[in-house]
Amino acid sequence: MNTKNLVLSSLFAAITAITSQITIPIQPVPITFQVLAVALAGALLGKKYGFISQIVFLLLGAIGIPVFAEFKGGLNIIAGPTGGYLLAYPLAAYITGYFSEKEGIVNISIGMILGLIIIYILGMLQLKFILNLSLQKAFMVGVAPFLILDLIKLIIASFIVNTILKRSNVFQKA
C-alpha cells in the first residue's frame, strides 16, 4: 500500500457517501447514485483498492457516521432490509476492478454489469429475508424498479472511466 492508493480509496469512500445522499426516497429501497460510485471505484482503483474503498464506506456507516442514504448510519441499517445492497458494494467493486485490470472498455463494462448483478442478488436476498417476502416479490420491489436507471448509471460510469483513463495516469494500475 502506498499513500496515493490510500488517498484514492478514501476519496472513493467519500464519493460513495456523497452519492448516497442523492436520493429519491421510495420504499423500501431508495434510489441513489451509489451504484455509480461503486462502479467507478472498482473500474478506476482496481480490485484491491476498489474493495478497500467500499469497506471503508461500510465501516464509517457501521460506526454511526451518516454516510448511508438519507443521512443514516449504524449497524441497524446494515442489518435492515437494504443492508444486503450495502454489503455487496465491496464485492461488486472487487469484481468490477478484476475485469478493469484486464483493460479495455468491454472488460470494464462486463465487470460493472457483474458487479451490479452481485448488488442485486445480495440486496434482494436480504430484503426477502428481513421483510419475509417471496423471491418474486423481493425482485419486484428491490430490483425491477432500478434496472433501467442503474444500467444508465453504468453507461455513464463507462464514459467517465474511459475519459479519465485516456487523459490521466493517476488511476492507471492504482
Contacts with 52 (C-beta within 8 Å, 6 or more apart), sequence order: 9, 45
Give percent of the chain with pLDDT exceeding 70: 98
Tell me the per-residue pLDDT of 75-96, one tens digit each, with 9 for 90 and over: 999 999 999 999 999 999 999 9
pLDDT of 174 reads 57
Average pLDDT score over residue span 148-155: 95
Residue 172 domain-assigned?
A: no
Residue 20 domain-assigned?
A: yes
Average pLDDT score over residue span 48-66: 98
Average pLDDT score over residue span 20-44: 88
**Cα 117 from Cα 85, distance rounded (Å):** 10
Residue 174 domain-assigned?
A: no
Residue 70 domain-assigned?
A: yes
Confidence of residue 167 (pLDDT cuts 50, 70, 90): confident
pTM, entire model:
0.92
Residue 125 domain-assigned?
A: yes
Cα→Cα distances 109→6, 30, 37, 64, 100, Å = 25, 24, 14, 33, 8
Structural domains counted in the chain: 1
In the structure grid, which three cell numbers stand for residue 83, read together? 443492508
Q: Which domain holds residue 25?
A: 3-167
Average pLDDT score over residue span 35-49: 97
**Cα 123 from Cα 29, distance rounded (Å):** 9
Residue 96 sits in a domain whose CATH number is 1.10.1760.20
Residue 173 domain-assigned?
A: no
Tell me the per-residue pLDDT of 93-128, one tens digit each, with 9 for 90 and over: 999 999 999 878 899 999 999 999 999 999 999 999
Collapse the DSSP code of 94 into the 3-class scheme (helix H, G, I; strand E, B; otherwise coil) and give the result.
helix
**Cα 156 from Cα 147, distance rounded (Å):** 14
Residue 36 domain-assigned?
A: yes
